[in-house]
Amino acid sequence: MENVIGNQVRLFIWRTTKKNHDTMMTLEEPAKDMFGKVGVRQEIYHLSNTKDPEAESMGFTNISKTVSARDDEEVWLELQFYKDSKHHDEVAENMKNDKSAMELGKKFMEIITPGSCVEGKFNQFGS
């Protein structure tokens, strides 16, 4: 599954204060390991810039403005790749019953800006 994307992806975008950057980084590896054990590829990124003159000249809006990030916040992106919707549902159910998964999720929720997380499930085009 490591190199297989699957046909469903969950996308999350959230904000956290810049002072929580190192804490977020310490949560990334255990989360990636946890998801990897159940066949989910997970990627987490933080926004590297909030200004891109070239993109702005083409009429694009930086995502930091779309999610209303303050100057003291970072914008993060998480992608989770599942084989299909059944695989997602199975993983979600298993995570609810996994104490360590719930503890990791709680730590994550404690450091993100309340109300900032947006998410969506996307199916591969043509699926």
pLDDT digits (tens, 9 = 90+) for 77-120: 999 999 999 999 999 999 999 999 999 999 999 999 999 999 99
Token match 């995570």: residue? 95
CB 73 within 8 A of CB 15: yes
Strand order of the β-sheet with 118-123 is: 41-46, 73-82, 8-17, 118-123
pLDDT at 3 over 70: no
Give CA–CA dist 31/43, Å, rounded: 10
Check residue 54 and give its pLDDT: 85
Structure token digits, residue 11: 């996308």
- Note the pLDDT of residue 1: 40
Per-residue model confidence (pLDDT) at position 4: 58
pLDDT at 124: 83
Chain centroid to CA 114 = 15
Query: pLDDT, tens digit, for every residue of 15-57?
Result: 999 999 999 999 999 999 999 999 899 999 999 887 888 888 8
Residue 35, domain member (yes or no): yes
Number of domains in the chain: 1
For residue 102, what are the domain limits? 8-122
Q: Which residue, among 87, 12, 20, has the nearest Cα to 42 in the 3D structure?
A: 12
CATH number where 87 lies: 3.30.70.100
Is residue 2 included in any domain, yes or no?
no
So what's the pLDDT on residue 53? 83
Q: Is residue 81 part of a domain?
A: yes
127: in domain: no
Q: Is residue 47 part of a domain?
A: yes
**pLDDT number for residue 2:** 43
Is 62 domain-assigned? yes
Q: Is residue 1 part of a domain?
A: no
* In-domain check, residue 102: yes
Q: Looking at residue 121, what is its pLDDT?
A: 93
- Compute the distance between CA of residue 107 and CA of residue 109 in angstroms, rounded to an integer: 6
- Prediction pTM value: 0.86
User: Based on the number of CB atoms within 10 Å of its own CB, is 22 exposed (0-12), middle (13-18) or buried (19 or more)?
Assistant: exposed
pLDDT at 127 (0 to 100) = 57
- DSSP per residue over 24-83, as a string? HHHHHHHHHHHHHHTT-EEEEEE---S--HHHHHTT---HHHHTT--TTEEEEEEEEEES
pLDDT above 90: residue 65 = no
